[in-house]
Structure 1
Amino acid sequence: MDRTPAPLLTDADTPDRSSLSLELEPGEFWWGGTVKDGVQMPFGATSTHRRDLGVPQHDPEWDSAEDSSQAAPVLVSTRGRVVSSPHPFAFSVADGRLDVDGRDLTVLRSGTSLREGYRAASAQLFPPAGRTPARRLFASPQYNTWIETPLTPSEESVLAYARRILDAGLEPGTLFIDDNWAPDFGTWRFDLARFPDPERLISTLADWGFPVMLWVVPFISPDSAAFRDCERDGLLVRNADGRTAIRRWWNGFSALLDLSNPTAVAWLTDQFDALVDIGVAGFKFDAGDVRDYFSDDRIAQPCEPVDMSERWARLGLRYEYNEYRACWRMGGQPLGQRLRDKPPTWDDAGLGSLVPEMLAQGLMGHPYVCPDMVGGGEVGAMGGRDAADQEFFVRYAQIAALSPMIQFSVNPARALDGQHLAAVKDALAIRTEHLPLILSLVDDAALTGEPVLRPMSYHEEGYETVTDHFFLGPDLLVAPVVERGATARTMHVPPGSWSAPDGTTYEGPATIEVPVDLTTLPRLSRATSGAAPR
């Protein structure tokens, strides 16, 4: 792996501006802002796009508010230019120009390529921390109880879930006990009515090969003992009028812990640490969405709403096993970043969004990505064998198989027939084949900051708008099947000599049609003699 020093960013324009307008250079495209815009990236000469990274519009009806994802005030171009700020900014791309409005804007440049610009931005703006999340999160599949037992997990159901995974012949891995394992939000101890012996449960799962992670959020249930204690001690966010804020989120109405208050953070981490003491490996840090905080909130230390999201993310640094769905900045840090919940659709909201959004994650400084739960994370979508789109499930598993992390929630053996279950196991076998490469790239990301999954333009010019392929490192090109009923897959072959798993060789540049069946995950390996610069 390339661990040579990253090139330096140099001033490309007057820094620290409040607005700027850049004419796009020939062939220049831009990545960055927020992961939920991934399917529209890269932004370029034919794009019309606008995004404000500041406080989202708060709708009186929560259900119509925008969901969050990973976001950062950094844009990187395929010509080595970088726009950054310590603060949120608004930007638009239209008519061949990039316009940005914000505070302390800086335009920098390193070289003339996406890789040169990104590596320099990573080194100077969000340097890699030198460590990764827990290796087990990458080395084996992850399993989440959410779809199997939504809002009703128990000791009995969790053990049954794990046993069914083993009985299906699947490899054990980290097991997430999702929402409602505790008696109240903010009361982070097991509900003994449903989990009568948590230590025994965790020990049993560990013996079966399942480290345990628990779902947590920064909310406090109103009228709970925790709420009364936190309100008394001034640990909760207050509205502009000074009253304790009660905000609506997907589970109803709750108070918010004031993460700008060190005492509040200590109160929370004391509870988490007590769980670690009984064997819990770590936590799925859900929520932390920017939409839940208002600019006029009364809190212990002056913060923008995005800063509260960042403070939630910083809690994960305390635990080697962690996962996030919403995050502000924190590039280069050892945090697992999952895509937001996906519906079971073949379009750009579902399967078509996975590769572009993971590429966007990587170019915002988050190499340790997970493409949501295989089949999609929207509860109810995988109800039973008749409800599952089995081909969709297989194609989703194939994308996840060569992603840094793969996570299941629905048990494939429950939802799939024999043919489709065998295809999922084939995808897992492909992952096993390439796991040494994946782990090597994960380790390398901790030192260089480079993404594990990379767009074609990261290593090859001329493919800036190809976002349904990805490089796994510089020498393995992957083009997952993303169309229902496909019998062939178009692949763009870069210059040089490339070989397919069946031994077929191709000389690029070329565009080829690869025949596919249900088990095919199209990929090409670069011949060593034609390797890209590393």
Structure 2
Amino acid sequence: MTTRELMIQLLPGEYWWGGRAADGKHMPYGASLFSVDLAESNNANQASPLLISSKGRYVWSEEPFSFRFDRQSLSVSGTEGEPIVGEGHETLRGAYLHVSRTFFPPVPSLPEELLFTAPQYNLWIELLYEPTQEKALQYARSVLAQGMPPGVIMIDDNWHEPYGTWTFHSGRFPDPKRMVDELHAMGFQVMLWVCPFVSADSQTFRKLEPEGILLKDRDGNTAIRKWWNGYSAVLDGTNPAAVQWMHGQLDALQSEYGIDGFKLDAGDFDFYEPDDRSFVPTTRNGHCEAWARVGLKYPLNEYRACWKLAGQPLVQRLKDKRHEWGGDGLGALIPDGLAQGLLGYAYTCPDMIGGGEYSSFMAERLDPELFVRSAQCSALFPMMQFSAAPWRILDEEHLRYCVEAAKLHRRFGAEILELAKHAAVTGEPILRHMAYEFPDEGMETVKDQFMLGSTLLVAPVVVKGARARKVAFPAGTWVGDDGSVVAGPASVAIEVPLSRLPYYRKQ
């Protein structure tokens, strides 16, 4: 197997982004050492064989590659495909628009519009592995009782019989049709969690194994893989019969119960091996891509793991974050969200407000300030998603600020939806890096603020205890949420009481 290598000398003042969305906090690349093998791991989130430069250069390959940055050069190597190097596009935006048009042109259709115009409510943190019909209804009633707008409600893991048997558990959901009807009457759309795994001791497994639609290991035996819920067989997403079977299960849930859409979890590289035997021979990355394609049939969808498929009408959520300020907590939301956009994933959702890593919520003490700042940070992302119930864990003051964040998202919903429609035509991100919009103003290393479209600058607070922060304003006149007017370019210290999410409109 031949390894193809190339070496690129970095230009003065050049910065790069790309590879994996969950490495956003390490971006931009170019100022320090950093290396990744895109064939090994997607870091539990979206990935793409793309690197893109502030100087209008890019690297693309149809197959995964490894890359390494030092302070003077970028090295790229891969055993499959031929990396393409492009230049001459002048800016980050110029390079992005070229690769978008050339390698992942946008599909002119959207995910479900309600995902952009109202908050989402995922039952994971509240119910974990014990969701029930009554608990789901009570959560929805509580949303409305707090004055929060209805939106999409997601019933997460274990609503079903054994994995792969996508029928409601009769004990936990005695009358799912009535539940869905009630949720619809309250103004919610309903999503169910699913995955590509099939419990090996289930009747479904005994039915599917002889049909040859389960993944096989290198010896030709049905592959049994360890994942976060134990050991299971895996659907072979490269097999049209497996996709048809899965679609049949999901279609039945829609026709019988009125389910609106699906959260299609897992698909991570880790659950596949390079030498697995599949209907169409492929890489671990290819299996991830195949699972992501299953969701294209359903406008109401959500993914966390994805390979390529930028420009497609798939919702891409950031990986589960911890209930903490730094590390993989709140501080990672903006840089990871910016990375998603620059990889071509326009329809992005931050992680669940307060964090989606459930072990963080097993602690006795939760940080109400962190929860509020997380809600504010999410409010002007393309989407926002609650899970832990703010009315359960917060006092009246902190709860009020979270309700205000939910209402703010709804107020901006029409504008966000227009940006989503724009993305479906142009491929442009909805949530944009400052350097994407303002290439000549030294914004490359700014990663605690972002642009929503081309005119709204959003500067959330992501530091514990902060009641003031600096905002980098590009050239122009900026009118703030508080009525203040700033003439840019300027770096301005502003006041940020706990009640405030700062944002500024360019005039």
Question: What is the TM-score when the length of structure 1 is the normalising length?
Answer: 0.92
Task: Summarize the alignment of residues 91-106 of structure 1 with structure 2, pairs less than 5 Å apart.
Answer: 91-102=67-78, 103-106=81-84
How many Å separate the matches in 1 of 2:406 and 2:248? 38
What do the CA deviations read for 1:232-279 (whole angstroms, capped 9, x no partner)?
A: 111111111222111110001111111111111111110011011121
Query: Of residues 98, 121, 129 in structure 2, which corresponds to 1:120?
Result: 98
1:50 to partner: Cα distance:
0.3
Report the alpha carbon displacement of residue 99 of structure 1 after superposing the two structures with TM: 0.8
The residue aligned with 2:453 is 473
Q: Is the 8 A contact 1:257 1:264 kept in 2?
A: yes
Partner residue, 1:362: 341
SS of residue paired to 2:11: coil
Q: Which residue of 1 aligns with 2:87?
A: 109
Listed one character per residue, the Cα deviations across residues 164-186 of structure 1 (whole Å, up to 9, x for unaligned) are: 21222211111101000111100
Once the two structures are superposed, the pairs formed by residues 366-445 of structure 1 within 5 Å of their partners are: 366-382=345-361, 387-445=365-423
SS in 2 for 1:104: coil
Do the aligned partners of 2:117 and 2:413 also contact (CA within 8 Å) in 1? yes
* AA of the residue aligned to 1:77: S
Which aligned pairs between 1:260-299 and structure 2 lie closer than 5 A?
Answer: 260-277=238-255, 278-299=257-278
CA offset digits 1:361-409 (Å, max 9, x no partner)? 011111111111101011143359x632110000000111000111111
**CA–CA separation in structure 2 for the residues paired with 1:383 and 1:18:** 47
> 1:53 aligned to 29, 32, 38, which one?
38
Contact in 1 for aligned 2:331/2:462 (Cα 8 Å): yes
Counterpart of 2:413 in 1: which secondary structure? helix
AA matched with 1:94: D
- For residue 412 of structure 2, give the secondary structure of its aligned residue in structure 1: helix
Task: Say yes or no: does 1:206 pair with 2:206.
Answer: no
Equivalent residue number for residue 509 of structure 1:
489
Secondary structure of 1:148's counterpart equals helix
Secondary structure at the counterpart of residue 382 of structure 1: helix
The alignment status of 1:225 with 2:203, answered yes or no, reads yes
Give 1:304's aligned residue: 283
Mark the CA change 1:67 to 1:522 in structure 2 (over 3 Å): closer, same or farther: same
Structure 2 residue aligned with 1:31? 17
SS of the equivalent of 1:381 reads helix
Number of aligned positions between the proteins: 501
Structure 2: how far apart are the matches of 1:181 and 1:259? 23
Q: Note the C-alpha offset of 1:296.
A: 0.8
SS at match of 2:295: helix
The amino acid across from 1:30 in the alignment is: W
CA distance in 2, matches of 1:508, 1:471: 15
C-alpha contact (below 8 Å) 1:55/1:295 kept by paired residues: no
User: In the TM superposition, what whole-angstrom CA distance separates every residue of 1:447-474 from its partner, at most 9, and x where no partner exists?
Assistant: 0000011111011121111111101111
Looking at structure 2, the residues matched to 291 and 246 of structure 1 have their Cα atoms a distance apart, in angstroms, of 13
Task: Give the C-alpha shift of residue 502 in structure 1.
Answer: 2.2
Q: Is residue 110–residue 120 contact of structure 1 (8 Å, CA) maintained in 2?
A: no
Question: 1:353 is matched with which residue?
Answer: 332
2: CA distance, partners of 1:120 / 1:298: 36
**Structure 1: which amino acid aligns with 2:319?**
R
The structural deviation recorded for 1:207 is 0.6
Structure 1 Cα separation of the partners of residues 229 and 88 of structure 2: 46
| Structure 1 residue ranges (4+ consecutive) displaced by more than 6 angstroms after TM superposition | none
Bigger mean CA offset, 108-117 vs 122-131: 108-117
**Paired position in structure 1 for 2:50:** 74
1:132-151 counterparts in 2 under 5 A?
A: 132-151=110-129
Instruction: Report what 1:457 is aligned to.
Output: 435
1:80 deviation in Å? 1.0
Instruction: Decide whether the 8 Å contact of 1:355 with 1:470 is kept in 2.
Output: yes
CA drift of 1:411 comes to 1.4
The one of 480, 491, 500 equivalent to 1:500 is 480
Q: Which amino acid aligns with 2:21?
A: V
Question: How many Å separate the matches in 1 of 2:477 and 2:126?
Answer: 45
Q: Distance in 1 between matches of 2:77 and 2:325?
A: 35
Question: What SS does structure 2 have at the residue aligned with 1:387?
Answer: coil
Aligned-pair CA distance for 1:67: 4.4
CA RMSD, 1 decimal:
1.5
Checking the alignment, whether the CA contact within 8 Å between 1:237 and 1:256 is kept in structure 2 is yes
Give the partner amino acid of 1:52: D
